[in-house]
Chain A
């Protein structure tokens, strides 16, 4: 299987006035074309930042200090060195975490979608709206013509997320970063949205990097998985392998923390504090070693 994205030894820091704080520490990641790759970790592990590196939407003070990102299957590879990163970016798109804040509140859905379509292809406005309508139909929105005429605040959370998914697929991207796309949704809607993403992925053959903290979701839809902590990938592999034979203590401890119907609640063990501390120590030792 070919690779859609290869990250090698990626280091990223955030510059503060006084010091530089390392966020990513030597990430190696190989996204294979057409897979759904789960990226799991707790808050602050650096997984969202990794997503942003790939999307090239880093905050102003974040800096890549080492490493490389390659897109072996990207169309027109010659343009990567171009000044405006924006021009080649739409082959990667994002399904954001919070549908509330991810839509422009002052523009109608139809307008927002056709704007994206127009930026990425040529054609007439009328045509764009028709395309947008069929995209909405694709994400199983019932009355697409009406939704196109509505503002985000008039839609439910699930509807907004569907619209965002439609937007993410509208540029026919090769890679989609799904950054905890169901976290902000009601449980009943979560499942539908997951299924929708899965269906669309199969249909379009898109590669998805699925960022989540929920191992259950990973088990359900991902092919492969990477576990992150303190800006490092601790374990990587097929979902089945990793879940059945975890090699890292952190993975084991995470798996033990999943609530399951066949396990009594009190047997759930949070990740031990000592383990957390040990991981942070290792990260610092790693920084120290790099500096010298």
Chain B
């Protein structure tokens, strides 16, 4: 595979990241108000405030602050959280596995459901079940993730309480995690009771996140599949003994995935963004939940670190999507 292409994409990500850093920094410095005054709370004297201001480097000029910040970033230092009084990098690294597991699980759910829907919809092309699939997709797509979260809590958490609606696992089970990747780690260590509990807790938040992505992906994939089904090579395959379902998944699918992935790729980053609200609602201890607290507490270093983390995640997901497309379509590899 062309490593130069990969390298090119990686290089392109650098200025994007640099831009993200700059914008985050500037955006948060134009905040009206004094983060220090808020951080000290009632009772701080002028001297206390000045002391803290110096401690956080806020007594320098904006440009100077930026240079200092960049310098710290280079050494991997994201600063110290104001409200949580801990190294921002450590805080984020501690919580990131939670969000990553949730996001991956949600994406997996979304993609498998979307595949099933799109394939079935295509299989039923031009017949009434296709209309049901289309209608279902159309309704699901109109409801944002956090409304799903609320509805799911109401239905499966309260009305028929079969699902846990808060937290990451049953806290009566004790699990001393080394990596904070509970799901993967508990599986590897064979503590299936933990795996079960983590999965159980993950279902509702993951489904809330997954449904909108599922709908939009299914819709895009289905229309790409429809376009693909009209192509000559598919017709030809039908004449050569490929069954109606088989021709869809063995011939059309991979081709349809190329434009579908390109079109819905950005939706995957929306799912990651969705964790902010959904983690909040389910009390899921990931970085999304932390982000809202950071905004509420006006914890500048933490907000900065989190926004940057999200940006890195987004860029990484976009790179992966590019890679996936190149993997799918040989024409892109040989150009």
Contacts and interface: CB of A to CB of B under 8 A. Distances in A.
B243 interface: yes
B258 interface: yes
A224 B39 CA distance: 94
A153 B233 contact: no
Interface of B: 125-126, 231-233, 235-244, 250-251, 254-255, 258, 328-331, 334
A148 B148 CA distance: 50
Per CB-CB distance, the 8 closest pairs between chain A and chain B, nearest first, are A60-B126, A151-B330, A101-B232, A102-B232, A119-B241, A90-B241, A104-B233, A94-B239
Given A90-B241, A153-B334, A171-B241, A106 B232 contact: no
A79 interface: no
A136 B63 CA distance: 68
Contacts, number: 74
Interface in A113-159: 115-116, 119-120, 151, 153-154
Given A90-B239, A119-B240, 10 more contacts: A60-B126, A84-B244, A89-B241, A94-B236, A97-B232, A116-B240, A119-B242, A153-B334, A154-B334, A164-B236
A167 B236 CA distance: 10
Contacts of B255: 104-106
B210 to A, nearest CB: 27
B330 A153 contact: yes
B235 A57 contact: yes
Interface in A147-180: 151, 153-154, 164, 167, 171
B258 A106 contact: yes
A228 interface: no
Interface string A78-96: 0000001011011011101
Contact of A89 (B239, B251, B328): B239
Interface residues of A, number: 32
Contact of B239 (A61, A93, A97, A105): A93
A105 B330 contact: yes
Nearest to A154: B334
B296 to A, nearest CB: 49
A101 B233 contact: yes
A30 interface: no
A120 B233 CA distance: 18
A86 B233 contact: no
A171 B255 CA distance: 25
Contact of A102 (B233, B244, B329): B233
Given A101-B231, A106-B330, A151-B334, A86 B236 contact: no
B242 A86 contact: yes
Contacts of A55: 238-239
A98 interface: yes
A106 B329 contact: yes
A86 B126 contact: no
Contacts of B233: 101-105
A61 B240 contact: no
B236 A102 contact: yes
A120 B241 contact: yes
A157 B241 CA distance: 25
Nearest to B243: A86
Nearest to B250: A115
A30 to B, nearest CB: 22
Contacts of B331: 105, 151, 153
Contact of A57 (B125, B126, B238, B330): B238
Contacts of A171: 240-241
A106 B334 CA distance: 12
